Chain A
């Protein structure tokens, strides 16, 4: 019997994707611009700030936004909110971005190893992952920072101890798929050393999902830092930080509502910028 086939696949589908992609590229650009501006503001804080962020001026305490010389007003100790916000960005953005670096590296490497070798190594790593994800993220980070003592160093360690599991799971899942693919089989068949297959052939193909996740992870980390600051476990005072600014402002909610509101808006905008970048990356690169 002769089988004669019409070219093309068997299903009829209509995929009008071009415009959607372009629209999301716009989102990506908006997100990158917004985040770029935030980073720039943080770097240029000494230039942009109108006042010393820790300089107290009790005569001019709790001024409303728009007061002469104080764009966003002053806090209960007469410190300029606009300047504190800028210096707060310096701390929160720096720690937020840096704190995801080591979980990213550790989680990616362990995920690669776990997915590639399988066996008892995989079992052990995945059991550890199961244990860490059993704790609510914030609860474990707060408990660890408490155990380690407040401060940025403890934040880095605590976030690393909790954060690596997400990258490990993502990368392991990708490796399990990728290792059955022909390029990986070809690399194995060619007798290359394992580390070379893992890092030169596999890693570039599996790392994308981890990078996309890292955008929302930065948001989560900044939220953790701000929450720690709010609980008094973050950067020690008087160094400004958005979380401690909100905490200081909460007691004046009835009279000076903006004290607690403004730093929160800064956090939300940062989150929005990173969420836009993450969404844009998904649409740009995600093949699923």
Chain B
């Protein structure tokens, strides 16, 4: 097998990809994981309090643990992004943005999801000038200032609570009628005197000349503030799957079997990008999907080599 040929290439080094890497490496599959930004969305989570074995750990720390565990299990992680994939005979040829080419027999798509943007006026222009998509990175810049978080799920609640440690006041602006995260996080928001939650409300515009100064709401109200954190969920990243002819649902997710197989022979998918785990997108379910995929690849590869041996 040539140096750049692998049994399995995993695209995406979030939890699903790294977990698959841990299992695949331990099954002695020659494994490569490609990702320019290893760690995935876990890396920017403020606190993870629902991953078994860790009562409370920062997302950054947990992501680093997954990464070093995958490397210890002999999976190779390379910081490159995939720009093209094609199938030649029964191998996949993957080209990256660093102009390298890799070959593999099995491909696992674990590309996760991309953060959703609000799509409002001023959002692009004021990104990094008050508008942020990473509360753990930027909360500290809003010491003694006023900030707002858009969203109503767990990550929005976490961002709001984290910001309240710095800011004098934090608005949480949500389009729905009640918070939809875990009760423990909802309570932390609702019991915090610095936080004001605005339900059934949308932000329609971000304003400010050189930095964010004000936002407009759809109820006509305007709020003067310095920071706006967008935590409204994410969209599955399926471009690569489309190229390969992988079946994608109306919701934009890759359709997988219980073994994490897609409709294309040799192509698997795991994590937030799939229909797996009943659509429950969690660190624990992504880890599980990655391990199931690696196990199925291991079985398939053994079956293949057995067939080759019998034929010889």
Is chain B found bound to chain A in the same assembly?
no
Residues of B bordering A, CB below 8 Å: none
Residues of A bordering B, CB below 8 Å: none
